[in-house]
Structure 1
Amino acid sequence: MQEMEEQLAHLNRTVEDLSDVVAAQAKEIDLLTRRVALLMQREAEREADGGSHIYGGPETPPHY
């Protein structure tokens, strides 16, 4: 009987630990989802403004 109680206590602790991990992952997923939405909004605004040029490094200006 004592062995079963020990096993149950171990399983309860494991479930609590997993619950904490899932809660932390949910917070991180929410944060990342908000960041992706913000980036998508910024990119949509940039495309709407016609400023979709991507800077690729030093370029020679057209007058050279």
Structure 2
Amino acid sequence: TTTSSTTSASTTTVTETTTTSATTTSTTSFTTTTDTSTTTTSESTTLTTTTSTTSTTTFTT
């Protein structure tokens, strides 16, 4: 009696890639007010940050 067995090994590789990008936008506005002999200038700055994240997962067997 001859018994033959074959064992097969399986390897799975998981690769995850994450990409993050950020963009900052600066907006500055000036307001000038004149009252008789007084001139007042006010400045306002607004910062807006947008963040984008992309994740990719790859399975290799």
Q: Normalising to structure 2: TM-score of the pair?
A: 0.30
Structure holding more strand per residue = 2
Larger radius of gyration: 2
Q: Normalising to structure 1: TM-score of the pair?
A: 0.30
Higher relative contact order (CA 8 A, sep 6+): 2
